[in-house]
């Protein structure tokens, strides 16, 4: 079926040209080797000319005769015979050497590797942890991971997805640790993808996640190699997509979204304190506006006089229902955020000032929104940005809306019911067969040491069991000196 090379050079050349739709960046270099016509084909844009010259063309011209794979001085020389294979090699940045009278062509890897240098990821900053970040090149990313776990057990499974884009996707896991059933399931799901183009890890996440209708992110994106590796050693699977600096980690639990690398590099009490603050922030960002709405429009009895009077005063002359107030303020906030996020920094700052100061105070002075509501929304917004992973903060803000609606319709009862449903949903969620809300539901006391609190590092003798690693123990001797 597949078109094979023939002995005729010109014929082969035409076939390849046709395969590439007569593209004009397919360059050729004619030469004589072994007294035969010889053509070197390469995609002009994809190869490093210098390498091509020194490792391929120069040796061939010098040797004049011999076996190609011995003559060429590159690391990767391969003989291929089908047109499609040649095509894919060319697209990877290899050059192809065709020789008159041979049914085989040699591909030599001389790819141009232009990639961004390794920098600190902008959206996952840290103070006390490593400052390197993943980049767009999958090779570099693998390098960053391999450098951190130098074990023969690190297995890379490679896929090429996307009919048009032919994106390289790598599944990375520790063969002796990751749960094999789960790995098989992930492989099954990844290999079942058949699309035209696959450009980012976000798409692949949506293709393989269990519960697309859930507001909770079920995979963790990270640009931090240290973070990725720490999950790798918990027996989780990484998914790298070429051209995307964000690495997907799966299966993940709810609590992973509230862990930050810095926690482990601070003293454990400090780490624990920050964890608690973060969970508090999550609760605040979901509930606070709702509780305020419920109190103001239903249960003002719960406020003692002092607070009640000041709230009452701030509400005077505000013509809107507190729900409308909260809703519009949240929308305004999202608008400000969206507006400033993609603008160059100086303009974004201006918008921040205009939005925060001008709108914030003017809206109160025009008594469209009450003072207390501005305080509440401000607090909510800040809390939702506390989450170390942006997605979770956003999803918390999003979840705030149904809770607000329920509070506006049914007061405390509505809040209780919606929160209960959210917790039920969390209990129901499973990703790749692993419970999402572990270690709280199901309760695993031993795993609690690294969720709401961060126990001292030497207490973490066992790794979290939420992804059912093949063996649990991860520390053998930590403070052994103490016993002697």
Partner 1 sequence: MMGSQISITKFQLLMVLIQTQIGIGLLSLPNVVQESARGDGWISILFAGVVIQFLLIIYLKLLKKFPNDMLTDITKKLLGKHLGTIVNTTIYFYFIFTGSTLTILMIKILNEQLLPLTPGWVVSFLIIASCVYLTVSNLRVIARFFVLATFWILVLICITVLSIWLPKEIQFILPVGSAGGKNILLGSNNALLAMLGFEALLFLFPFVIGNTKGMLKTVSYANLFVTSFYTFITFLCLVTFSPEQLHQIREPVLFLFRGLTYRMVDRLDLIFLSIWIIPMTTSIIMYLFLASKCLAGKKKSYKNAVIINGIILFCLSFIPNTDKITDTLTQYVSFLSYTIVIFLPCLLLLLSRLVKKRRSGGFV
Partner 2 sequence: MKKWHLLLYILMSLMLAGCWDQHHLVNKTFVNGIGYDLTEEGNVKVTVRTVNIKGKGGGQFDVEDILLFAEQEMQIGLGTEIDSMVAGEVDFSQAHIILIGDEMAKTGINQLLEFYYRGKDANIAKKVAITKGTAESVISTEIEKSPIAFFILQAIEGGENASYLPDESISSIWTKLLTQGRDLLLPYMEQVTPEKIRIAGVALMDGDKFSGKTLTIEQSSLLLLMMDELKKTSQMYLVLDEAKDESIRISTKQVKRKLDIEVDEKNGNVMASINLKLKIGIDSYPHNLNKNINQNELSQKISRELTKQAKEITNILQEANCDPFGIGLRVSTTYPETWEKLNWDKDFKNVTIKPNVEVEIIKTGSIY
Residues that bind partner 2 (CB under 8 A): 296-298, 300-301, 305, 308-318, 321, 371, 405, 408-411
- Minimum distance from residue 452 beta carbon to partner 1 (Å): 11
- As to burial, measured by CB atoms within 10 angstroms (0-12 exposed, 13-18 middle, 19+ buried), residue 332 is middle
- Which of partner 1, partner 2, none has residue 317 at its interface (CB below 5 to 8 Å by kind)? partner 2
413 near partner 1, rule: CB under 8 A: yes
Q: What is the CB neighbour count within 10 angstroms for residue 81? A: 14
Contact region for partner 1 (CB under 8 A) — 56-64, 83-91, 169-177, 408-416? 408-416
Q: Are 398 and 381 in contact (CB under 8 A)?
A: no
Beta bridge partners of 97: 40, 106
**Distance of alpha carbon 119 from alpha carbon 138, whole angstroms:** 15
353 near partner 1, rule: CB under 8 A: no
- DSSP 8-state code for residue 117: P
- Minimum distance from residue 437 beta carbon to partner 2 (Å): 23
421 near partner 1, rule: CB under 8 A: yes
428 near partner 1, rule: CB under 8 A: yes
Nearest CA among 292, 196, 291, 209 for reference residue 249: 209
Of residues 17 and 308, the one with the C-beta less far from partner 2: 308
In this chain, which of 442, 458, 470, 471 binds partner 1, going by CB under 8 A? 442
- Which of partner 2, partner 1, none has residue 427 at its interface (CB below 5 to 8 Å by kind)? partner 1
- State whether residue 326 is helix, strand or coil: helix
**Distance of alpha carbon 73 from alpha carbon 457, whole angstroms:** 49
- Minimum distance from residue 327 beta carbon to partner 1 (Å): 21
464 near partner 1, rule: CB under 8 A: no
- Minimum distance from residue 295 beta carbon to partner 1 (Å): 10
- Minimum distance from residue 428 beta carbon to partner 2 (Å): 16
In this chain, which of 79, 283, 382, 443 binds partner 1, going by CB under 8 A? 443
- Minimum distance from residue 442 beta carbon to partner 1 (Å): 5
Beta strands 237-241 and 167-174: pairing type?
A: antiparallel
**Distance of alpha carbon 77 from alpha carbon 236, whole angstroms:** 35
Of residues 314 and 451, the one with the C-beta less far from partner 2: 314
**Which tokens sit at 308?**
């009640």
- Which of partner 1, partner 2, none has residue 314 at its interface (CB below 5 to 8 Å by kind)? partner 2
- Minimum distance from residue 263 beta carbon to partner 1 (Å): 23
283 near partner 1, rule: CB under 8 A: no
91 near partner 1, rule: CB under 8 A: no
- Minimum distance from residue 366 beta carbon to partner 1 (Å): 31
Longest CA–CA separation in the chain, Å: 102
- State whether residue 26 is helix, strand or coil: strand
In this chain, which of 152, 212, 304, 346 binds partner 1, going by CB under 8 A? 304
Interior/surface letters 208-240, b for 16+ CB within 10 angstroms, e for the rest: bbbeeebebbbbbbbbbbbbbbbbbebbbbbbb
- Which of partner 2, partner 1, none has residue 189 at its interface (CB below 5 to 8 Å by kind)? none
- Minimum distance from residue 408 beta carbon to partner 2 (Å): 7
Nearest CA among 219, 372, 214, 358 for reference residue 293: 372
Nearest CA among 255, 258, 307 for reference residue 466: 255
307 near partner 1, rule: CB under 8 A: yes
Beta bridge partners of 33: 36
- Which of partner 1, partner 2, none has residue 297 at its interface (CB below 5 to 8 Å by kind)? partner 2
Residue recorded with tokens 């090149």: 137
- Minimum distance from residue 213 beta carbon to partner 1 (Å): 13
**Distance of alpha carbon 167 from alpha carbon 187, whole angstroms:** 16
Of residues 93 and 435, the one with the C-beta less far from partner 1: 435
E strands along 129-278, which residues? 154-161, 167-174, 220-222, 237-241, 247-250
142 near partner 1, rule: CB under 8 A: no
**Distance of alpha carbon 259 from alpha carbon 79, whole angstroms:** 48
**Which residues are at the interface with partner 1 (CB under 8 A)?**
299, 301-304, 306-307, 410-417, 420-421, 423-425, 427-428, 435, 437, 440-443
């Amino acid at each position: 079926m597949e078109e094979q090379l023939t002995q005729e050079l010109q014929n082969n050349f035409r076939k390849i040209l046709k395969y590439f739709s007569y593209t004009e960046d397919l360059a050729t270099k004619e030469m004589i080797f072994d007294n035969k016509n010889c053509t070197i084909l390469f995609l002009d844009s994809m190869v490093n000319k210098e390498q091509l010259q020194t490792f391929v063309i120069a040796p061939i011209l010098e040797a004049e005769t011999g076996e190609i794979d011995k003559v060429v001085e590159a690391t990767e020389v391969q003989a291929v015979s089908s047109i499609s294979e040649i095509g894919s090699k060319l697209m990877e940045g290899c050059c192809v050497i065709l020789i008159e009278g041979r049914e085989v062509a040699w591909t030599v890897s001389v790819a141009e590797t232009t990639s961004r240098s390794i920098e600190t990821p902008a959206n996952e900053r840290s103070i006390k942890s490593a400052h390197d970040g993943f980049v767009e090149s999958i090779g570099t990313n693998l390098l960053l991971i391999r450098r951190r776990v130098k074990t023969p057990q690190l297995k890379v499974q490679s896929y090429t997805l996307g009919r048009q884009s032919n994106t390289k996707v790598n599944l990375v896991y520790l063969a002796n640790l990751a749960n094999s059933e789960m790995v098989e399931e992930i492989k099954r799901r990844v290999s079942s993808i058949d699309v035209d183009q696959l450009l980012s890890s976000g798409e692949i996440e949506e293709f393989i996640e269990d519960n697309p209708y859930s507001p909770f992110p079920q995979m963790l994106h990270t640009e931090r190699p240290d973070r990725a590796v720490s999950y790798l050693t918990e027996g989780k699977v990484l998914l790298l997509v070429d051209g995307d600096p964000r690495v997907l980690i799966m299966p993940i639990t709810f609590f992973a979204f509230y862990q930050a690398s810095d926690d482990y590099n601070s003293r454990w009490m400090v780490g624990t304190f920050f964890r608690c603050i973060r969970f508090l922030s999550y609760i605040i960002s979901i509930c606070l506006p709702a509780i305020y709405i419920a109190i103001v429009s239903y249960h003002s009895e719960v406020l003692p006089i002092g607070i009640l009077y000041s709230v009452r005063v701030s509400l005077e002359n505000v013509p809107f229902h507190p729900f409308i107030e909260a809703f519009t303020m949240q929308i305004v906030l999202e608008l400000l955020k969206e507006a400033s996020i993609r603008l160059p920094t100086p303009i974004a700052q201006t918008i921040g000032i205009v939005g925060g100061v001008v709108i914030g105070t003017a809206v109160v002075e025009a008594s469209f929104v009450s003072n207390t509501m501005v305080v509440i929304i401000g607090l909510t917004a800040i809390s939702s940005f506390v989450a170390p992973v942006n997605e979770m903060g956003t999803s918390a803000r999003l979840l705030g809306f149904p809770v607000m609606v329920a509070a506006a319709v049914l007061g405390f009862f509505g809040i209780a019911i919606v929160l209960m449903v959210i917790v039920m949903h969390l209990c129901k969620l499973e990703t790749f067969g692993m419970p999402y809300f572990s270690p709280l539901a199901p309760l695993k006391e031993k795993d609690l040491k690294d969720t709401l609190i961060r126990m001292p590092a030497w207490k973490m003798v066992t790794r979290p069991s939420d992804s059912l690693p093949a063996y649990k123990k991860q520390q053998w001797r930590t403070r052994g000196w103490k016993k002697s």
